[in-house]
């Protein structure tokens, strides 16, 4: 029987730092050969265990129902809770892994390098998974050294979200905070922020460090890692400049710790959220928050735009989830069929119809779903319903952002790379280091990890 247990994993929210220490290609036993027979017309049978995913809402359960129909008599069991990387790696090492695993896309490179998940070329070809229909940045994030190791599912992108009343009161527009002019954003931050007696009353702008350093670096014209995933670029002058600017946004408001403490006190998912209560001017935020805001505070004075680079062009840092088949899976044929079904256009249509019905029942608009499948995205977009302004603009900007995504490429040391990056940003935010010093150290650590991991991986080929 299928277990349905509440978990954030179903929303694709898995900590990017959970794989710390799991980056190098050692200790899990290796992926071995994939001798399964994949055929979309063949019957699959037996049982299949799923780790890291549990159905919690209509978007999840409708797709699970569709996938189970495609699996026929296969008995599907879902583990409880989100993915525990150490538990998963231990299961692979002991020869008792789940049959399919649901992971963050930025975990796939490390898992592949460790031999914990198998290449999916034969699965993709045999089941006829149309990878040419998937979002390019999402597929690139699960492709290590030219080989695909995961089938992308949800996709997340950022939008500029702002309080229109606060902007208007300061003589500003959303264009002043969308990233296209950093000097204008710094000025807007100071115009919007309010403090009394040293205590923050209104956050002007939140640059969302440390997680959005890749976004600001890209806006400044540089990637944090080379396209082939082999060369760290953390100490590039453009990255240093991006970090200096993003940190200055907090310094102008009394420091990161003060801003973070105040933003953490907000009712982020409730009707007392920071936009509804006019205690935040603007910030970049993942698109799913549009639905949260519309649901709990539909009358909030919102303004939306994409995030833009310094030339005024739209960009978004893509992230999301993926399905992978563990080394030693007892039923890889069913696992491959399941991954195809869960990410198919038909499954996303079922999910969109279920979400649309739920929203209509509540008298609220359907603001769309970003799936990782570009063909499905086009279909779902046609199903969205109007909520009036500013919500219709938010939906339009979401799809505009989804057409302008980038991601960090898969690499065998992705966990160590992210740890080095986050440690550097946090050292600066804590006042322990300058951006240049912190990123110089991070560059050395990240490059050393990349060199070692790639060397080990290439030695095994």
Q: Can you say how many angstroms the Cα of residue 155 is from the centroid of all Cα atoms in its chain?
A: 6
Region class of 30: left (phi > 0), else alpha (psi between -120 and 50), else beta? left
> Which SS3 state, helix, strand or coil, does residue 332 take?
helix
CA–CA distances in Å: residue 58 to residues 3, 49, 61, 357, 374: 15, 21, 5, 10, 21
Angle at 92 between CA 89 and CA 95, to 5 degrees: 150
Q: Is 239 exposed, middle or buried (0-12, 13-18, 19+ CB in 10 A)?
A: buried
Non-local (6+) Cβ contacts of 252 within 8 A are: 186, 189, 190, 193, 204
Over 85-147, what HEC string results? HHHHHHHHHCCCCCCEEEEEHHHHHHHHHCCCECCCHHHHHHHCCCHHHECHHHHHCCEECCE
**Residue ranges of E strands in 188-251:** 194-196, 199-205
Establish whether the linkage from the previous residue to 455 is cis, with ω within 30° of 0: no
Residue whose pair of structure tokens reads 């219709």 in the numeric block: 392
Crossing angle between the packed helical segments 332-342 and 345-361, to the nearest 10 degrees:
50
- Closest to 343 in 3D by CA, of 157, 136, 131: 131
Q: Please give the share of the chain, as a percent, with pLDDT higher than 90.
A: 87
Residue 63 near residue 342 (C-beta atoms within 8 A): yes
- Give pTM, 2 decimals: 0.89
pLDDT in the model for residue 459: 81
Which residues, in sequence order, are CB contacts of 349 under 8 Å at separation 6+?
A: 376, 379, 380
**Whether the Cβ atoms of residue 227 and residue 210 lie closer than 8 Å to each other:** no
Which CA distances in Å does 436 have to 180, 239, 418, 433, 442? 24, 9, 17, 8, 10
221 is written with which tokens?
């014209």
Give the pLDDT of residue 14.
31
CATH topology of domain 8-156+319-386: D-Maltodextrin-Binding Protein; domain 2 (3.40.190)
From its phi and psi, is residue 388 left (phi > 0), alpha (psi between -120 and 50) or beta?
A: left
Cα–Cα distances (Å) from 226 to 130, 229, 408, 447, in that order, read 27, 5, 9, 11
Residue 81 confidence (pLDDT) = 77
Question: How far apart (Å, rounded) are the C-alpha atoms in residues 320 and 149?
Answer: 15
Judge if 8-156+319-386 and 158-317+413-457 fold alike in CATH terms: yes
Domain boundaries along the sequence of the chain: 8-156+319-386, 158-317+413-457
For helices 58-71 and 332-342, give the axis angle rounded to 10 degrees: 140
Q: Contact, 66 vs 116, CB < 8 A?
A: no
**Alpha carbon distance 80, 448 (integer Å):** 36
Supply the CATH classification number for the domain 158-317+413-457.
Answer: 3.40.190.10
What is the Cα–Cα distance from 34 to 121, expressed in whole angstroms? 10
Which contiguous run of DSSP H or E holds residue 285? strand 280-286
Residues of the chain with pLDDT under 70: 1-33, 55, 461
Task: Look at residue 461 in the predicted model and tell me its pLDDT.
Answer: 65
Check: CB of residue 54 under 8 Å from CB of residue 4: yes
């Amino acid at each position: 029987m299928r277990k349905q247990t509440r978990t954030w994993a179903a929303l694709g929210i898995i900590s990017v730092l959970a794989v710390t220490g799991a980056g190098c290609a050692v200790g899990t036993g290796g992926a071995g050969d994939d001798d399964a027979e994949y055929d979309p017309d063949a019957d699959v049978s037996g049982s299949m265990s799923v780790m890291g995913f549990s159905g919690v809402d209509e978007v999840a359960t409708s797709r699970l129902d569709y996938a189970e129909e495609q699996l026929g008599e296969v008995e599907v069991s879902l583990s409880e809770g989100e993915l525990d990387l150490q538990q998963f790696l231990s299961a692979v090492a002991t020869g008792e892994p789940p049959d399919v695993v649901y992971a963050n896309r930025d975990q796939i490179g490390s898992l592949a390098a460790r031999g914990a998940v198998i290449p999916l070329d034969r699965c993709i070809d045999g089941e006829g998974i149309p990878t040419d229909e998937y979002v390019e940045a999402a597929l690139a994030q699960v492709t290590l050294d030219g080989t695909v190791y995961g089938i992308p599912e949800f996709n997340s992108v950022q939008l500029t979200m702002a309080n229109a009343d606060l902007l208007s009161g300061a003589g500003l527009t959303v264009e002043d905070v969308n990233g296209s002019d950093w000097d204008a954003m710094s000025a807007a931050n100071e115009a919007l922020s309010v403090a009394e007696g040293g205590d923050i009353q209104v956050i002007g702008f939140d640059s969302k460090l440390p997680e959005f350093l890749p976004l600001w670096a890209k806006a400044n014209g540089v990637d944090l890692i080379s396209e082939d995933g082999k060369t760290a670029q953390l100490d590039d002058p453009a990255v240093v400049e991006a970090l200096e600017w993003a940190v200055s946004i907090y310094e102008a408001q009394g420091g990161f710790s003060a801003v973070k403490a105040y933003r953490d006190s907000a009712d982020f998912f409730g009707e007392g959220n920071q936009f509804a209560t006019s205690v935040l001017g603007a910030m970049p935020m993942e698109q799913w928050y549009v639905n949260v805001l519309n649901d709990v505070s539909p009358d909030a004075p919102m303004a939306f735009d994409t995030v833009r680079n310094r030339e005024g062009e739209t960009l978004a840092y893509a992230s999301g989830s993926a399905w992978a088949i563990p080394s030693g899976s007892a039923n890889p044929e069913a696992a491959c069929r399941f991954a195809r079904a869960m990410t198919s256009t038909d499954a996303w249509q079922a999910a969109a119809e279920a979400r649309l019905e739920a929203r209509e029942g509540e008298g609220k608009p359907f603001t769309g779903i970003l799936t990782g499948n570009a063909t499905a995205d086009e279909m779902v977009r046609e199903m969205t319903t109007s909520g009036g302004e500013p919500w219709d603009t938010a939906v339009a900007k979401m799809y505009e952002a989804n057409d302008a995504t980038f991601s960090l490429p898969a690499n065998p040391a992705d966990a160590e790379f992210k740890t080095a990056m986050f440690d550097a940003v946090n050292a600066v935010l804590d006042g322990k280091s300058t951006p240049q010093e912190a990123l110089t150290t991070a560059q050395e650590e990240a490059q050393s990890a990349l060199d070692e991991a790639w060397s080990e991986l290439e030695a095994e080929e």
